[in-house]
A and B are shown apart, each in its own frame.
Chain A
């Protein structure tokens, strides 16, 4: 149970990623194909394997690449400690929604592409020996947007955390906010998850919310903002309205750094900005201050 020294690599890189309801068949969105990657931040060309075996950081400048659900779990939790819950919850198409193509087809493609059934994974795990309920949203799946499945999985996880009196950690990566394709059902998930968090809060539970790039709209405006402690990865895009919407509304250029983690911390909405390698020791330390 004694936490290892600060800054230590969270998990050995050669441990295989936990299996999450099927295997990805193709590389995820936001990460180009091939042996090499170009860093969005510094422009360096870096060896993909080096990035993926580490923490999905640019070895040159430390830029935080998108990290898929399985890698997140492997990075943050103790080796093989994660037990996935409600993996059999699958999305349906309550509206019969179709834009340029039917939502059902889109779902199938996203499932094939990411190996996930929907944008959310929840379960129980250990972080440096501390038991917790863990959830995440994966931005590769329809921008990590929240529809009925995401809302339901998170709500059930929160209810279990309340019953079992475990701390709750949720990593958000949701550029899409509430999912349009499920219409009003998605909007209402915001209320549902937030109400579950109200009960968790009343029961004295500790909720640590980790905001990653990007966390926007209905996800930012519900569970992601409601942490007792709110952490953000550096330089993540976080906000309510998308920058394009804001820009077209006010018809002015946006200030530099608008809606970044640093912007949010400067305005008082984030407790700490923590780089990915430090998430594990930092979260375990925070838990130790609050949970006895």
Chain B
């Protein structure tokens, strides 16, 4: 992989890495250095672990947004044996922010839906930084309904700062289309696995996020609003984004603790951007495992479980009952 641009908190790791590199170059001439190299490698591991175990939420956001972080199309190459892209929403156009198509996952055929931000400037412009318009959500839902027709399970990779806030998006019904996706995804009759691989930005993420199994990568985040947006409203300036990130409790371990997601997918030491291949292997394992379990359920039960999964979420007080994370039905 090409040289990574270090994040501010990665500075000590990068420094140690370059020291180690220097040492290794000298190694050829003086064999007595090997012990020092070994020690330094251990130290590097320890340091990386220490830094990554103590990331603050705002630092997690910077990992989730890292330019070298693997994106949907990276995973398409690393996880799936084949990808047959299906374009277009049959109404307006082909939104490149959300990619959809058939994919081969080992011996299973699935439908892949993924938000792709773009790995270089050209891609980012083509894919609109992963921020979809209504036609993207419409396309995603259409292909999901196609998948259900032929009993293909669905894999959704979520990675967006949010649905695009523009004039065209509003004219073409961004709010309506996301709402419609939420309603219809809740009753798509085939297993759906959703994974937040980077940014889970609000309604734009949820628009392809109503699934039977919802996983979030260790350094991804899933939030009702971007930390900058929240800071702009509540702290009156986006520069307080770190404070907002702290307050919103949107990191994967918190989401799991709240019972909002089903699984945190561990990332390689030092984040997915350091080792795409290893991340892909772990993620593939997650998908296979989740799909195996979901496919064993009768469809009616699957849909009832999907309903209950979202039905349960919410915390409030009820005077008759005690404090409750709500149970089903009234």
A contact set with B: CB distance below 8 Å: 86, 88-92, 94-95, 97-100, 148-149, 151-152, 155-156, 159-160, 178-180, 182-192, 194-199, 201-202, 217-218, 220-226, 238-242, 245-246, 249-250, 254-255, 258-259, 263, 267-269
Alpha-carbon distance A267/B317, docked complex (angstroms): 41
For residue A103, give the distance in angstroms from its CB to the closest CB of chain B: 9
Alpha-carbon distance A91/B187, docked complex (angstroms): 29
For residue B82, give the distance in angstroms from its CB to the closest CB of chain A: 31
B contact set with A: CB distance below 8 Å: 163-167, 169-176, 178-180, 182-184, 186-187, 202-203, 206-207, 209-210, 222-225, 229-230, 233-235, 243-244, 247-250, 255, 258, 260, 306-307, 310-311, 313-320, 323, 326, 329-330
Alpha-carbon distance A198/B310, docked complex (angstroms): 13
- Whether A94 contacts B258 by the Cβ 8 Å rule is yes
A-B CB contact pairs (8 Å), 14 listed:
A92-B323, A97-B248, A99-B235, A99-B244, A100-B234, A152-B314, A178-B202, A180-B234, A184-B224, A192-B311, A224-B175, A241-B163, A250-B166, A267-B173
Q: Which B residues touch A199, using CB under 8 A?
A: 307
- Whether A189 contacts B314 by the Cβ 8 Å rule is yes
- Whether B167 contacts A220 by the Cβ 8 Å rule is no
Q: A178-B203, A246-B165 are in contact. Are A88 and B319 (CB under 8 A)?
A: yes
For residue A38, give the distance in angstroms from its CB to the closest CB of chain B: 26
Kindly report which residue of chain A lies nearest to residue B210, judged by CB atoms: A191
For residue A237, give the distance in angstroms from its CB to the closest CB of chain B: 11
Q: A187-B203, A192-B311, A199-B307 are in contact. Are A225 and B176 (CB under 8 A)?
A: yes
Alpha-carbon distance A97/B230, docked complex (angstroms): 12
Q: Which B residues touch A238, using CB under 8 A?
A: 175
- Whether B224 contacts A241 by the Cβ 8 Å rule is no
- Whether B182 contacts A240 by the Cβ 8 Å rule is no
- Whether A149 contacts B163 by the Cβ 8 Å rule is no
Q: A241-B165, A246-B165 are in contact. Are A191 and B182 (CB under 8 A)?
A: yes
- Whether B310 contacts A91 by the Cβ 8 Å rule is no
Picked from A149, A190, A268, the residue with its CB within 8 Å of the CB of B316 is: A149
Alpha-carbon distance A254/B225, docked complex (angstroms): 23
Q: A191-B209, A192-B314 are in contact. Are A184 and B165 (CB under 8 A)?
A: no
- Whether B235 contacts A100 by the Cβ 8 Å rule is yes
Q: Which B residues touch A179, using CB under 8 A?
A: 224
For residue A33, give the distance in angstroms from its CB to the closest CB of chain B: 25
- Whether A99 contacts B247 by the Cβ 8 Å rule is yes
Q: Which A residues touch B306, using CB under 8 A?
A: 195
Q: Which B residues touch A190, using CB under 8 A?
A: 179, 182, 203, 206
- Whether B173 contacts A187 by the Cβ 8 Å rule is no
Alpha-carbon distance A268/B91, docked complex (angstroms): 14
- Whether B184 contacts A246 by the Cβ 8 Å rule is no
Alpha-carbon distance A126/B166, docked complex (angstroms): 40
- Whether B167 contacts A246 by the Cβ 8 Å rule is yes
Kindly report which residue of chain B lies nearest to residue A202, judged by CB atoms: B187
Alpha-carbon distance A222/B163, docked complex (angstroms): 14
Q: A99-B247, A148-B315 are in contact. Are A198 and B203 (CB under 8 A)?
A: no
Q: A184-B222, A185-B314, A185-B315 are in contact. Are A88 and B175 (CB under 8 A)?
A: no
Alpha-carbon distance A194/B210, docked complex (angstroms): 10
Picked from A149, A220, A242, the residue with its CB within 8 Å of the CB of B179 is: A220
Alpha-carbon distance A249/B250, docked complex (angstroms): 24
Q: A152-B316, A187-B203, A192-B314 are in contact. Are A241 and B169 (CB under 8 A)?
A: yes
